Structure 1
Amino acid sequence: MGIRGEARDRTGGTTIKKLTAYGLILIGIIIICYPKASEWYDTRQEEKLLAAWEESLMNEEAEQEALDQYDGLTSLFAEGAEAVEPSAEAAPSAEAAPSASAQGEPSAATAPAPAKAPPKLNAIATIKIPSIDLKLPVLEGATEKNMKVAAVHLKETTKIGEVGNAAIAAHRMRIKGRLFNRLDEVEVGDKITVETKDDTFVYKVYKISIVEPTDVSVLNYNNKDRRLTLITCDPLIDPTHRLIVHAEME
């Protein structure tokens, strides 16, 4: 029994020594690796913070561009209000217009060069409001050229159909039913359908307001609702405010 006991003690002592050695080795590895691990962790955190900062900057830049476009609508609406529709008086009469036979056929040397075709406008969607019998193409970007012929999507606002607030603007022309001329007839509960090349989105009007041109709160949004904001000038003649139709996707 004495010999066996001594053997056990020696085995136990050897095991403890081994465990102690392993523990010391492990501690040494941790001490050696800690700076590298800490550096790696700090670098990862730095990268995450930098990515978040850059993303926030891009969001702020996009938001500012959207606000700039909204602000730019003031001059575009003013130009639309000042535009004069061509009248019969402006068109030359048959008697006043010189005929080709009277002037003679232009020679090849004097014939004007054919005018270049204007760049093609491609609609990104159509907007329909059945309650006012409206159907319009929607172009990307609030420019004078686009707003003469269609409604426009403020390109730095949310894409149509996505979570956020997609803003669409158009002139109110003096011709009945032209562009957003009848937008003031829209009522809460009316449906608005926007059809893109890939999908169809149906919104329901929940609020109508008339605001100052400086009121940018109409572009507000949250991270859960899919909103659509229609913008035009008000009143129809000598506009001083903006008529806003707020809608949410059902």
Structure 2
Amino acid sequence: MKIVPYLLIAAGIVLFVFPVAREYINEREQQQLVRELERSIAPADSKPSIDSENARLTELLQSGLEGATEEESERPTIEEPLQTLDDKTIAIIEIDKIDLKLPVLEGATTKNMKVGAAHMTETAQLGEIGNAAVAAHRAHTKGRLFNRLDEIEIGDMIDIRMRDGKVMYRVTEIKIVEPTDLSVLNGNQSDAMLTLITCDPLVNPTHRLIVHAIKSEE
């Protein structure tokens, strides 16, 4: 019976270390994707409907980062074509105000949002006329993913680096909306817009934090 206390201690150590190790692995993968994108980018072609993608995004954001770390089936689907992660990496998003640098991957899937931000494929392409939507989780670790997005203010700059150059956006609007509010994805025929989406509040999220920005020539 003397071995029982030692087994309990060992189990406690494992339970403490496992989440930390998993987060470390995810962050290393995120950094690797950024480095790979800086060398080469190949966007994906998957095009799920905006309604189905929004529904999937809602499920992912409400489940939180913990849910996003759970592995999906490895079978390819329409929403997640069979290709390597670097094939899905289309850009790097940088926001100096909150010390953010993340890979942007194509498609709001569990795998993509585990390691970076995700471009909603049925929205405009980054840097082009229309509204390009990019979503990410708010990790509980300060500074990870979109954790500090609530610190953004109107006028702050967002940089998107792609294979063919860098696009700068200036923040024009910040708001909290219901998850079903698709109006945040609306664009127009004259502006190149960027919409950042994450869950709100950080704990037990019920809404979405939305940051709208417009392409700037500065």
Name the TM tier (shorter chain). Answer: 0.5 to 0.7
Shift of 1:82: 4.5
TM-score by length of 1: 0.59
CA distance in structure 2 between the partners assigned to 1:199 and 1:70 by the alignment: 28
2:184 paired with 1:215: no
**Secondary structure of the residue that 2:52 maps to in structure 1?**
helix
CA distance in structure 1 between the partners assigned to 2:93 and 2:66 by the alignment: 25
* Structure 2 residue aligned with 1:70: 54
Higher helix content, 1 or 2: 1
2:172 paired with 1:188: no
Larger relative contact order (C-alpha < 8 A, sep ≥ 6)?
2
8 Å CA contact 2:91, 2:104 repeated in 1? yes
* Structure 2 residue aligned with 1:228: 194
Shift of 1:248: 0.1
TM-score by length of 2: 0.68
Deviations 1:187-224, CA, capped at 9 Å, x for gaps: 00000000111121000000000000011000011100
* Structure 2 residue aligned with 1:121: 85
Instruction: Return 5+ residue gaps in structure 1 as ranges.
Output: 1-61, 86-117
**Secondary structure of the residue that 2:138 maps to in structure 1?**
coil
2:189 paired with 1:205: no
CA distance in structure 2 between the partners assigned to 1:210 and 1:68 by the alignment: 21
* Identity between Structure 1 and Structure 2 (%): 57
* Equivalent residues, number: 156
1:130 counterpart (81, 91, 96): 96
- Greater C-alpha Rg: 1
Higher strand content, 1 or 2: 2
**Structure 1 pair 84–119 and aligned structure 2 pair: CA distance change class (3 A):** closer
CA distance in structure 1 between the partners assigned to 2:149 and 2:188 by the alignment: 25
CA distance in structure 2 between the partners assigned to 1:174 and 1:181 by the alignment: 7
Instruction: Return 5+ residue gaps in structure 2 as ranges.
Output: 1-46, 70-81
**Secondary structure of the residue that 2:85 maps to in structure 1?**
coil
**Secondary structure of the residue that 1:159 maps to in structure 2?**
coil
Q: CA RMSD in A?
A: 1.9
1:163 counterpart (129, 133, 138): 129
